Amino acid sequence: MKFEVPKKYVEKFMEKYGKDADIDKLQAAYERSLITHGEDVGVIAAQSLGEASTQLTLRTKHAAGIATLNTTSGLPRIVEIFDAKKEISTPTMNIYLKEEYEKSKQKVAEFANRIMEIKINDVVSSYNMDLKRREVTLLFDREVMKSYGFTLRDVEKLLSNMKLEVEASENSLVIRDKTADSVKKLIRLRNKIVGLTMSGIKGINRVIINETDDKRYWIMTAGSNLKDILKIDEVDQTRTTTNDIIETYEVLGIEIARNLIIKEVSETLENVGLAVDIRHIMLIADAMCFSGEVKGINRYGITGESSSILARASFEVPLKHLINASLEHDVDEFKYVANNVISNQVAPVGTGSVKLISLDYGRKSEGKTDRKNKEE
Amino acid sequence: MDIDIFANRLSPKYKILDSNEADSILLRFKCSRSNLPKIRMADPAVIALKANEGDILEITRASKTAGEAVYYRVVIR
């Protein structure tokens, strides 16, 4: 099989040696640089990342008192990405606005205030509950409310489509619910009301405005809601990203999620000063996204799907897998690396993946690994 | 504003292969559709491209190592 040399290399080759240089030489050099058949790339990728991450553990830093967002970094972040966690510990977004907006600090700040989620909780100073009358009284902080630009009316309006009796006085609301006949129900009612979003976009808890060198402003947020942010007109869809891989997968698709895995992992490693070749990360990202959805490298994800019992057992909770396999009469064909290593056999890796074929007699040797035979 | 998933910087280029191209790809890799990497029908990219089940998507990715890399995914349910 002839391998096509990527355009990037052809262009660089031409640049260096002129247009009529011998392209076959490049072809030969390129093919020599390719990885050999049967190379255990997965094991090498695992080792390359595993070795580096042992050094990460001790370097978890805690920067106190710095007014930036505290995002998970180092080993916890790497684990989070590779486990394909649904709820990551510190979701953040980098929001860029379209060019006409991003140069004006005022416009960016206005936008930032608009997207920040303000819950009723943020404008309530205290509350009372009265079980006898089955009512919750919310006392509002006028000053704070004014600074956000709300009035009591807005809160009333928000509550109007819930089946509640609302009574407003100067700066408090009395909310009556006839069905709330226990303290538990009253507390639940209060929590429900207090958690309502008054303005902004759900999930965006904090916003920080950053400035680039050429006086452009962009927003960093705590909390993430890619779907709703991208729908806003001012937002530049090409650059706005979140660090939540599962969310990206749901909104933008598997390919972008795969690219985000690579980006996040390499950035995390770079930030702690480790150099792992990007090819290893690419391989792992491809493996995670092979099935069309993002799967973590754990027993619920790609490892759990392995058809080999011993490979699964050697990863996590061995007894469970072995007992289930024996109950179900499962068969392990010893096709993969892990089970062959366990049973002290030649693993189908490197030279182990090839069988000798004698062409002189015109017939192939009939080995178990026949499907992988390669003419040498 | 609608979300344009192809606008994102991380987005690759997609192309739906016609049946001739699809066959030549399968022949080149000596494999069947079930061996190829997959992409779900519910994936935003598939919905935007209006691809059908069994279609093969040619995905041209920007690659740091190769400049441009071509990848194939088969649409599954």
When CB atoms are compared, the residue of A8, A260, A292 closest to B39 is A292
Pick from B2, B45, B67: CB nearest A8: B67
With tokens 């092979």, the residue in question is A290
Of B8, B37, B46, the CB nearest to A252: B8
The domain that holds B46 is classified in CATH as 3.90.940.20
- Decide if B8 contacts A218 (C-beta within 8 A): no
Contact A291 B38 (CB under 8 A): yes
pLDDT of amino acid A370: 47
Beta bridge partners of A124: A140
* Extended strands (E) in B1-77: 13-16, 38-40, 56-63, 67-76
Q: Find the CB nearest A255 among B3, B9, B59.
A: B59
Q: What is the pLDDT of residue A285?
A: 93
Q: Say how far apart CA A104 and CA A101 lie, in whole Å.
A: 6
> Which amino acid type is present at position A286?
D
Please report, for chain A, the start and end positions of each structural domain, with discontinuous segments joined by +: 1-34, 35-67+78-85+243-305, 118-199, 309-345
pLDDT, residue A375, reads: 46
Specify which residues A208 forms β-bridges with.
Answer: A220
Check: complex ipTM more than 0.90: yes
Closest CA to A287 of A49, A34, A64: A49
Number of domains chain B is built from? 1
CB contact under 8 A, A286 and B37: yes
Q: Which residues contact A280 (CB under 8 A, 6 or more apart)?
A: A44, A45, A48, A49
CB A137 within 8 A of CB A173: yes
Residues of A with CB under 8 A from a CB of B: 6-9, 227, 230-233, 235, 237-239, 241, 251-256, 259-260, 263, 278-279, 282, 286, 289-293
Assess B51–A contact: CB distance below 8 Å, yes or no. no
Q: Which residues pair with A93 in a beta bridge?
A: A221, A242
Q: Which of residues 8-37 of B touch A (CB under 8 A)?
A: 8-12, 14, 37
Neighbours of A77 (CB within 10 A): 23
Q: Which architecture, in CATH terms, is A309-345?
A: Orthogonal Bundle (1.10)
Closest CA to A7 of B72, B60, B14: B60
Q: How far is A339 from chain B (nearest CA, A)?
A: 22
pLDDT of B74 higher than 90: yes
Q: Which of B25, B4, B23, B34 is nearest to B71 (CA)?
A: B25
A281 close to B72: Cβ distance less than 8 angstroms? no
In the CATH hierarchy, which fold is given to the domain comprising A118-199? Gyrase A; domain 2 (3.30.1360)
Give the integer Cα–Cα distance in Å for A276 and A46. Answer: 11
The better pLDDT of the pair B42, A196 is held by: B42
Candidates A372, A341, A278, A292; CA nearest to B45 is A292
Tokens of B30: 């000596």
Among B4, B68, B76, the residue with its CB nearest the CB of A237 is B4
Phi first, then psi: give them for residue A139, nearest 5 degrees: -100, 125
The reply to whether residue B40 touches residue A292, judged by beta carbons under 8 angstroms, is yes
The residues near A29 (Cβ < 8 Å, ≥ 6 apart) are none
Distance (Å, rounded) from C-alpha A115 to C-alpha A200?
4
Q: What is the pLDDT of residue A358?
A: 67
Please tell me the number of Cα atoms within 13 Å of B42 on its side-chain side. Answer: 6
Asked if residues A338 and A314 have their Cβ atoms less than 8 Å apart, the reply is yes
Is A256 within 8 Å of B7 when comparing Cβ atoms?
no
Chain B residues within an 8 Å CB radius of A281: none
Domain that holds residue B53: 5-76
**Could you give the angle at which helices A23-33 and A7-17 cross, rounded to 10 degrees?**
130
Low-confidence ranges of chain A (pLDDT < 50): 368-376
Q: Which helix (H) or strand (E) holds A136?
A: strand A135-140
Across B45-51, average pLDDT: 90
| CATH topology identical between A118-199 and A309-345 | no
Q: Which long-range contacts (CB under 8 A, 24 or more apart) does A35-43 make?
A: A36/A350, A37/A353, A37/A354, A37/A374, A38/A348, A38/A349, A38/A350, A38/A351, A38/A352, A38/A353, A38/A354, A39/A349, A39/A350, A40/A337, A40/A347, A40/A349, A40/A350, A41/A283, A42/A283, A42/A287, A42/A337, A43/A337, A43/A349
- Asked if B7's CB is within 8 angstroms of A254's CB, the reply is no
Q: How far are the Cα atoms of A25, A90, A110 from residue A29, in angstroms, in the given order?
A: 6, 45, 56
Residue-level pLDDT at A173: 79
Q: What integer is the mean pLDDT of B24-35?
A: 89
- Asked if B66 reaches chain A (Cβ–Cβ under 8 Å), the answer is yes
Integer Cα distance of B45 and B38 in angstroms: 13
Pick from A164, A119, A160: which is nearest to A140 by CA? A119
